[in-house]
Structure 1
Amino acid sequence: MPLTGIVTSAPPRSRGFDADTVVSSTIAQEFSGQGYGFCIRYLSLGAGQASGDLSPTEAAGILSSGLALMAVQHVDEPGWSPSQSLGQTYGNNAAGNAAQVGFPAGVNLWCDLEGVAGGVAASDVIDYCNAWFNAVSSAGYVPGLYVGANAVLTGQQLYSDLLFQHYWQSCSDVPEVSCRGYQMTQSFVSDPVNGIYIDEDTTQTDNEGGRVLWLVKAR
């Protein structure tokens, strides 16, 4: 069943969080009451959502709490090797899993780019990212890229060689996306918040006027 809500661009300076833990409706309400504006949860790499990743029930509870919602797909274990075919497979899975959760078209789905094996050519990373982009975009979603540690690409390559127009800066030391910059930045949080481990995220307008696109409960 489709999630109930509207897709809209995020206002700048909204504080949210990403979590690799199920966020119950009670926990979501606690975050909402503390001034958090959005939550980012995980899509599985494989076809079909795995236990512990975002479910339709969890997503509905997050939205009902007043938090906006987006999803990011898991990344392979550190030392993985990207390729065009893998990007197409994972992108198709991301889109299919997002549809299973109930996300409507037009919302950002995020590709997690980090932990690439040493010696991998930038061209292989570019092929992977653009294949992922095309698979997700073809399904009606708006692809975004999370830039983490060991992503291989330079800031200029991120901007000039990829199809993405939405970028999320990790809390690692990563290059600035040339010209455009980032629409969301991540900050490390060492201790649990409301009983779960999170990283905090803050939205902003990038240098070309772009903002993240999230799903929020209709008011």
Structure 2
Amino acid sequence: MVSVTIPAGTKAVDLSSTGHPLSWYEALLLSGVEAVFLDSLSPGVATDIANALAAGLTVNLFQGYYTPAWAIPSEATTRAQQIVRLAQQGGLPAKATPPVVLWLDLEACGNVPASAIFPWVTNWGQVVQSGGYDAGVYVGAGQPLTGRQLYDIPTITHYWRSASKVPDVATRGYQILQGAWNQSFEGVPVDYDTIQADRLGSLPVGVALSAGPTNAVVAQLQQQVTQLAQQLQNVQSAQSQVQHALTTLQQQLATTQQDVAALQAMVTAIKHVFAN
């Protein structure tokens, strides 16, 4: 397993459920999705990590929110240690190059003010960094930080924009854009996301089985080859039809020339009769 930078334009999904077989992730890949964001707190997430990787997807982990935790400063450390431990158990390499990003779901903060959320998230990011990972934030509804405050968090360098109305992150912007949310893929609730470079040129980093082309890329190339082969076959078929039509015209022309010659002979014979 290696860390990989996720290219701009990559289609992704995030989901909170687990227990999905390899075949489900393979179907997801065939649909054009190349990366998945899994909730580290979902039971059995390590198995889903393995299945998603085996299918050829790039895998990322986020930590779902728990509203009561925002009011307890020590929970930042506890929850950060938790996602680091789960990432390690899932095989996500620590201190990789480039560093793998672990994501915090920042939303539904209740009445906890920005003055408390800012140090909470800062501490969470510091613990994640100490564990050998980069820290990122999913900016959801019901969080109190402004775009400037989000950028100023010293331990956060990756931002993911939810489908809700949220502030733009000052200077840096977002690396992930959540689009259609609360959708269904083969009966499983998912949200769809798109990867982009932020305004500083940074991209999110996940893990894959290898750093080579993903199965999705290979599948797309195979599809393109199939389409080109079909187009070539169509061209060859069209050429054959044109050649057949040309041959038919040549035959018709030859017949017409014979008919003209016969008519000319008849006219000559008639003239000869009248001349005598």
TM-score, normalisation: structure 1: 0.89
Verify the 8 A CA contact 2:163 2:181 in the aligned structure 1: no
AA of the residue aligned to 1:155 = G
Which residue of structure 2 lines up, in the alignment, with residue 10 of structure 1? 6
Which residue of structure 2 lines up, in the alignment, with residue 70 of structure 1? 60
Question: Deviation at 1:162?
Answer: 4.0
2:102 is matched with which residue: 88, 109, 124? 109
3-state SS of 1:12 partner:
coil
The 1-side partners of 2:192 and 2:127 are apart by 28
Q: Deviations over 1:18-55 (max 9, x none)?
A: 111223211100010111110110112xxxxx52x512
AA of the residue aligned to 2:15 = A
Question: Deviation at 1:93?
Answer: 0.9
3-state SS of 2:179 partner:
strand
The equivalences for 1:103-142 within 5 A come to 103-105=92-94, 106-118=99-111, 120-142=112-134
Which residue of structure 1 lines up, in the alignment, with residue 178 of structure 2? 186
The 2-side partners of 1:100 and 1:217 are apart by 16
| Change in 2 beyond 3 A, CA 1:192/1:162 | same
The 2-side partners of 1:34 and 1:167 are apart by 26
Question: Deviation at 1:163?
Answer: 2.2
1:19 is matched with which residue: 10, 15, 23? 15
The 1-side partners of 2:153 and 2:134 are apart by 17
The equivalences for 1:15-164 within 5 A come to 15-22=11-18, 23-44=20-41, 51=43, 53-55=44-46, 57-77=47-67, 81-105=70-94, 106-118=99-111, 120-164=112-156
Verify the 8 A CA contact 1:19 1:197 in the aligned structure 2: yes
Question: Deviation at 1:216?
Answer: 1.4
* Greater percentage in helix: 2
Verify the 8 A CA contact 1:83 1:124 in the aligned structure 2: no
The 2-side partners of 1:54 and 1:90 are apart by 16
Question: Deviation at 1:70?
Answer: 0.2
Question: Deviation at 1:161?
Answer: 3.5
AA of the residue aligned to 2:115 = S
Question: Deviation at 1:59?
Answer: 1.1
Compute the RMSD of aligned alpha carbons: 1.5
3-state SS of 1:174 partner:
coil
1:173 is matched with which residue: 165, 170, 173? 165
3-state SS of 2:92 partner:
coil
Verify the 8 A CA contact 2:69 2:75 in the aligned structure 1: no
3-state SS of 1:198 partner:
strand
List runs of 5+ in structure 1 lacking aligned partners. Answer: 45-49
The percent identity for this pair of structures is: 30
Which residue of structure 1 lines up, in the alignment, with residue 246 of structure 2? none
AA of the residue aligned to 1:148 = G
| Change in 2 beyond 3 A, CA 1:70/1:191 | closer
AA of the residue aligned to 1:6 = V
Alignment: residue pair count? 206
Question: Deviation at 1:85?
Answer: 1.6
3-state SS of 2:167 partner:
coil
